[in-house]
Every structure is written in C-alpha cells, then in structure tokens.
Amino acid sequence: MNGITIDITGIVIGVLGVILAAFTTWFTTKALPWLKARTSKAQWDLWKTVVTTAVRAAEEIYRYEGQGEAKFAYVEDALRKAGIVLDTDKVVQLIKSAVTDLRLEKAYTAPPALQLPPGEVDKDALMNTSASPLADLKG
C-alpha cells in the first residue's frame, strides 16, 4: 500500500522551540524570584558562586554530548564538598541559571578572529603574538 509520508521534523522542532521559550520565560519570571525570596542574599550568592564555578569546570572536563549526568553529578559533588545541601530542584534551577550566564558570556566574548570573514586572517594579531613564528618578522 502506497501511503503519503509527511516529514514533521520542522513542526516538532518549532513546537520544542516554543516550549523552551515558554519555560525560559516562566523560569526567569516565576521560579528564580521564588527561589531567591526564600533564601538570604548571602546564601544565594554562595550557592550561585559554587554552582557557577562547578558548571564551568564540568563544561571543561566533560566536553562531549551525552555527558549531562556526569556534569550534574560533578556539580552536586562540588556542593556537597562545600557543605551545601539542597534539593534536586534547587540544584537544577541554579545549574540552568549558571549555564544561561555562561552561554551569554561566551556569546559576548567571542574572539575577534572568529568575527572575520571566512578565509581572512588577522595579521596584526599574528604579528603581536610572542608565540607566533611571525613575531620575529615584525620590524
């Protein structure tokens, strides 16, 4: 029997994008303020610092896709070593906040060489780098 096949990949991706956008909006407008209201500023700052540091380290250690559980375990271990005991929901919220901050930071601090048109090289940067073999040629 010949049937018509429909590719719904685009629809699924679109729906997931809408769901992610809605969750992000809810998280930043409802969940994060609720969590902050139930803790002292000092507690919140300590938790956020520990989680942010652990997330940065986990991102460097576990660089491959599919290692989310290992990253999460790394952050939980860092909290435990710091003497911080939180429920999983709070840890997840703090991690999501740290990951969002990290992504924004990476987006704003892209190396200038990445912003050059394809095929072009920043010759001034090469000449100013002491590790570059071209540095000796600068006259």
Q: How confident is the model at residue 139 (pLDDT cuts 50, 70, 90)?
A: very low
Q: How far is CA 120 from the centre of its chain?
A: 29
d(CA 89, CA 76): 12
**Type of residue found at 104:** L
d(CA 19, CA 118): 34
pLDDT at 117 over 60: no
More confident residue, 24 or 127: 24
User: What was the pLDDT predicted at 136?
Assistant: 42
Q: Name the least confident of 40-44, 97-101, 125-129.
A: 125-129
**Type of residue found at 107:** A
Predicted TM-score of the model (pTM): 0.49
Q: Name the least confident of 63-67, 114-118, 125-129.
A: 125-129
d(CA 129, CA 55): 31
Contacts 24+ apart (CB under 8 A), 26-32: 27/93, 27/96, 31/93, 32/93, 32/97
Enumerate residues 6+ apart whose C-beta is below 8 A from 44. Answer: 35, 36
